[in-house]
Amino acid sequence: MNLKLTFRDKKKEATGFAIAEAAFELALQHGMEGFIIDDVVQKAGFSRRTFANYFSCKEEAVAEYFIGNASKEDGNMLLEDLPADATPLDALYNLLKLQFTSEFLRKLRQFVSLANQYPSLEPYLLSVFRRLQIAAQEVLQQFSHGRYTDGYTHLLAGAVYGAFVPILDGRLNVLLPGEVQEDSDAVPFDQYLNSMFAYLRNGF
């Protein structure tokens, strides 16, 4: 019975992700005003009723593409591979490396650009960053086994994920992994990430 429930949950998750991915791709191609829910379900291969079972609007569907990527499986994999003397910062650093692949960062930057163009997406952008922070806090709490207060894990996750906002909205000139350096002033992503964690480890 548990196997059936697990399969059902996975199938439900896959359906929601397929709809969200279709909505995100349409948003990139046509802008938020250039498509309707019927276009999303046609592209994803589901009915409008199925869409309504998952999302209340197309903006929510677009955002879910990223919220769905903040999965607990990444955290579980990370905890298994950490050495015995690892610190919460080590755990968070490795989690970021797992979450923020070059493809995910590139698409997240596209989503930020969309939100800047279409105000209806802005509340959902905040939800995406909030969900990423919550996933990080859950991993840190699981890692720490009560050795640190909840306030500490909230502060740590908030500081790290907040540092990614100016990369994604273009306020900081940081090259994402895989991007070609055309501007000599651009900082490679790994260099920025290592500098950020050096500040957290050594103080500002």
193-204 pLDDT per residue, tens: 999 999 988 876
Q: Which helix (H) or strand (E) holds 175?
A: strand 174-175
Q: Which residues pair with residue 187 across a beta bridge?
A: 174
Nearest residue to 88 (alpha-carbon basis) of 156, 5, 166 = 156
Phi first, then psi, for residue 174 (nearest 5°) are -120, 130
Q: Do residues 29 and 120 both lie within one domain?
A: no
Question: Whose structure tokens read 């998952």?
Answer: 54
Residue 82 DSSP SS3: coil
C-alpha separations of 60 from 10, 16, 30, 145 in Å:
20, 11, 17, 34
15 and 88 together in one domain: no
Q: What is the CATH number of the domain that holds 57?
A: 1.10.10.60
Q: Percent of the chain at pLDDT above 90?
A: 34
- Of 202, 193, 204, 203, which is closest to residue 92 (Cα–Cα)? 193
Looking at the structure, tell me whether residues 79 and 175 fall in a common domain: yes
Looking up tokens 């969200």, which residue turns up? 20
Parent domain of 40: 1-61
Of 61, 77, 95, which residue is a domain's last? 61
Tell me the mean pLDDT in the region 72-95.
76
pTM listed for this prediction: 0.79
